[in-house]
Amino acid sequence: MSEAIRVGLLGCGTVGTGVLRILAENREEIVARLGTAIEVVKILVRDADKVRDPAVPRSLLTSDPREVLEADVHVIVEVMGGYEPARALLLDALSRGHHVVTANKALLARHGAELFVAADEAHRDVIFEASVGGGIPIIRTLREGLAADRIHALYGIINGTSNFMLTAMSDQGKSYADALADAQARGYAEADPTMDVGGIDAAQKLSILIAISFGLDIAFEDIRTEGIDRVTADDIRFAKRFGYTVKPLAVAKAHADGVEARVHPTLIPASTMLGSVHGVFNAVLVSSRALGPVLFYGQGAGMMPTAHSVVSDIIELGRNIQRGTSGRLPHLAFHRELVAERAQRDPRLTRCPFYLRFEVHDEPGVLAKISGILGDHGISIRQMLQETSQPGEAVPVVILTHVAQEGAVLDAIAAIDALDFVAEPTCYLRVEDLA
């Protein structure tokens, strides 16, 4: 058997613990596939004396990063999260000649370019399968499996916490707060769960998917991002009455005048494949010129699915190390100097149907005024419903539109919200009538 692949672990929380479990539980398969064992030689944590489940030998744990970086390792695995000190530690690791595996999409979305340059200069690799889609091998597939094709569009449910929460609210009638607490207890949520429910985690993942699918850098802060925190139990109920389910969707589409990128809760027909992706499951629907549509589906967060992706990356690096090779693939799939420049498209140009929920005081002429303003903005109504009002209370009026331009819809909403009979800002959600 050849030399073991020695690993230093930065972090031993949900994902790090899963990595240790997989290395122990699947040791035989891993050795048979890699031709040697993977050994974790040092682990960085905040509190080295904390009791860990399953137990980790105290001698492996340290709260001093130098003990990990200076150890005799081939690979540093970063599963600690956050920007700093993760960024500094990985740059240090690369300068020492270590390869890097990371699950940290926030770090990659903000500092990926710097890390990849450092890796190229050091002739080392940074790989990141677990950063998007948890256990789904979507990064490897986009970088290698679809390398021959031209990708037109991506539709992804890529935040497990948000999908888990919306499913629990929709199917079990759970409150938003209870659903979030449950997702946190299961280890799905980020350390700061506003990253999940606010859509930022999905925007960071979408920026990575766009880079490796279209060869385009879009800062995640520039992606139009709306979280599930704007969806109410009423919206879920009304959507059901129209035959839709509400899903946290990330969308990227290539147009002649740029790439459209957005993250938001979306009405999807309940009968479609993406509409059937529930709980912590994620899915990415990719549409490309030669292959057509292809769907990748699996658990998008949680200890073992995510750790499985991390360990598969260690195995890939182990194989490269055994062959004395690195840099086989460009980190972001494309040789950037050969990609034609493209910009991000103005989000106001997005075209799709919209779900609009107006909260209005029930008085004569309300519907005529709303539909008049929508008509003036070129927005055509497809379906409408209004529930019975209680005296003195506002009543929801819900409208599904035909395909409309986002800029026109936002302008129409601003005009309607200025009217006296409107009780609160109008809720709008986009609709994707996917097949």
Q: How far is the CB of 166 from ligand NAP (least distance, A)?
A: 17
Q: Which whole-number Å values give the CA distances from 124 to 8, 91, 226, in the listed order? A: 16, 11, 37
CA atoms of 409 and 432, how far apart (whole Å): 16
Candidate list 42, 50, 105, 205, residue with the active-site label: 205
Contact at 8 Å (CB) between 421 and 263? Answer: no
Helix, strand or coil for residue 252? strand
Map the footprint of ligand HSE across residues 175-194, applying CB under 6 A. Answer: 188-190
Exactly one of 196, 226, 313, 316 binds ligand HSE (CB under 6 A); which one? 196
Give yes or no: 205 in active site.
yes
Task: Note every long-range contact of 380-387, with CB atoms under 8 Å and residues 24 or more positions apart, other chains counting.
Answer: 380/404, 382/353, 383/242, 385/238, 385/241
* Tokens linked to 227: 């979280």
Residues in binding contact with ligand HSE, number by CB under 6 A: 11
Nearest to 380 by CA among 401, 407, 400, 399: 401
Site string for ligand NAP, 62-101 (x = CB under 6 A): -----------------xxx---x----------------
Residue 207, interface with ligand HSE (CB under 6 A)? no
Give the residue with the Cβ less far from ligand HSE, 162 or 344. 162
The total of other beta-carbon atoms located within 10 Å of residue 60's CB is: 17
First and final CA of the chain: distance in angstroms?
Answer: 50
Map the footprint of ligand NAP across residues 1-20, applying CB under 6 A. Answer: 11-16
Residue 22, binding choice from ligand NAP, ligand HSE, none, Cβ under 5 to 8 Å by partner class: none
CA atoms of 399 and 390, how far apart (whole Å): 20
Residue 416, binding choice from ligand NAP, ligand HSE, none, Cβ under 5 to 8 Å by partner class: none
CA atoms of 252 and 208, how far apart (whole Å): 11
Give the residue with the Cβ less far from ligand HSE, 155 or 354. 155
Residue 220, interface with ligand HSE (CB under 6 A)? no
Interacting residues with ligand HSE (CB under 6 A): 134, 159-161, 188-190, 196, 201, 300-301
Interacting residues with ligand NAP (CB under 6 A): 11-16, 44-47, 50, 79-81, 85, 103-104, 130, 134, 187-188, 190-191, 301-302, 306
Catalytic residues: 205
